[in-house]
Each structure stands twice: as C-alpha cells, then as structure tokens.
C-alpha cells in the first residue's frame, strides 16, 4: 500500500472508531446545546489551543463571527490568538499563563471556554480552564489520547482516543468544529 492509501485508511479507521462510540455523539450534541444556551443568554465563546489547536480554535471562531454556509448575523466568539497579548503575557508571566490572563480579562460568568489540546496536558490550556471555572464559565474541551488532565477538569470533553500522531486527532477535531457550528446556527434559528 502507498503512503497515500495508508494515510487515508488510518484517517478512515480513526473516524469510524470515533463515530461508533455513542458517548462522542452525545458529548458533541451536549456541547452544542450549552453553547447555544450561553449565546442566547448574552454570553460568548472564548477558544484556545496551541499550534494546530490554536488554528482550530481560530477556525471555529471565524466560522461563528463570519460566515459558515449561509449569510447570517455574527455569533460572539473570540480565539485567543492576539500576538501582542501572547508575547506580553509570555514575557511578563510565562507561557503557561497566555490563555488564563486573557480569560481573566474577558471571560464572564455564563460564557463558554472552548479548550483544545491533543494531549490534554497543555499547562497553558489547563490554567485557562482553572481561571474559567473560577469565573463561573462552562468548559467544553476537545482532547486526544486519554484526555489528560484537561478531560478531568472540563464540563464536557470530546475525546479522540488515538495514541499515535496528533494529526489524526486534529482531523476529527475539525469535523467536530464544523458540526458544532451547524448545531449553534440551528439552535439560534440561523440555519
């Protein structure tokens, strides 16, 4: 088998396994419901992650604030990706606090923190979750492997139990992100 076929078969097997676990479907639906409830009550979603997961957090938020499949009003969502904030906090407090300081300044009771980490053990994401919890925010996470510490701290964790490479986990994460956007739009009567 070629590299291309092996890669596609791996991706297919990870997705098939993820779909077969009914807990994953229930967790995605529950996360969508909580996000809709927060937005309807005047809340917002703040998303964070490192590397590819930061790109996923940003992708999620731009689909909400911009346009997904159809024209509609903007939905309040912010990705913590401001380089001036990240470098300021990283320099003054350390990289472990780049997300938690943002949540401290912008998070409110009733908001949602959407925390993404393929390992579930990124200390800056974990610190953001702790800060969010202290402010009365609801935490939805997307993790990989065994979910790590992040899964245990989250109100809802959507886990891809793949132990090899992060790219397979991220492929499922982006599918979940698009489904969450669909659920949010439908829940808000925008679909």
CA 75, CA 54: separation in Å to the nearest integer?
A: 19
**Region of 110 on the Ramachandran plot (φ > 0 left; ψ -120 to 50 alpha; else beta):** left
CA 75, CA 181: separation in Å to the nearest integer?
A: 10
3-state helix, strand, coil in the chain (%, to 5): 60, 15, 30
Among candidate residues 115, 97, 117, 114, the one with its CA nearest the CA of residue 51: 117
Mean pLDDT computed over 176-181 = 98
Share of the chain above pLDDT 90, in %: 96
pLDDT attached to residue 88: 98
CA 46, CA 69: separation in Å to the nearest integer?
A: 22
In 21-66, where does DSSP find H-type helix? 22-40, 52-65
Residue 1: pLDDT above 80?
no
Give the number of other CB atoms < 10 A from CB of residue 138.
22
pLDDT attached to residue 165: 86
Domains and CATH numbers, the chain: 3-187 (3.40.50.10490)
Greatest Cα pair distance, the chain, in angstroms, is: 52
77 phi/psi in degrees, rounded to 5: -150, 140
C-beta of residue 96 within 8 angstroms of C-beta of residue 69: no
What band does 168 get if pLDDT is binned at 50, 70 and 90?
very high
Residue 121: pLDDT above 80?
yes
End-to-end CA distance of the chain: 42
Residue by residue, DSSP assigns 91-141 as: HHT-GGGTTHHHHHHH--TT-EEEEEESSS--HHHHHHHHHHHHTT-EEEE
Mean pLDDT computed over 162-179 = 93
């Amino acid at each position: 088998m070629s590299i291309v076929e092996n890669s596609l078969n791996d991706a297919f097997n990870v997705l098939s396994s993820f779909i077969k676990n009914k807990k994953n479907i229930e967790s995605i639906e529950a996360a969508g419901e909580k996000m809709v409830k927060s937005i309807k009550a005047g809340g917002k979603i703040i998303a964070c992650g490192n590397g590819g997961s930061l790109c996923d957090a940003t992708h999620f938020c731009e689909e909400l604030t911009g346009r997904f499949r159809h024209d509609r009003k903007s939905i309040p969502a912010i990705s913590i990706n401001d380089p001036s904030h990240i470098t300021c906090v990283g320099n003054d407090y350390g990289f472990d606090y780049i997300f938690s300081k943002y949540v401290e300044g912008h998070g409110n009771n009733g908001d949602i923190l959407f925390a993404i980490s393929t390992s579930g053990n990124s200390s800056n994401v974990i610190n953001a979750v702790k800060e969010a919890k202290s402010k009365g925010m609801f935490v939805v996470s997307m993790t990989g492997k065994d979910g790590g510490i992040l899964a245990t701290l989250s109100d809802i964790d959507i886990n891809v139990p793949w132990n090899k490479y992060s790219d397979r986990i991220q492929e499922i994460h982006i599918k979940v992100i698009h489904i969450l956007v669909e659920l949010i739009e439908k829940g808000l009567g925008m679909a």
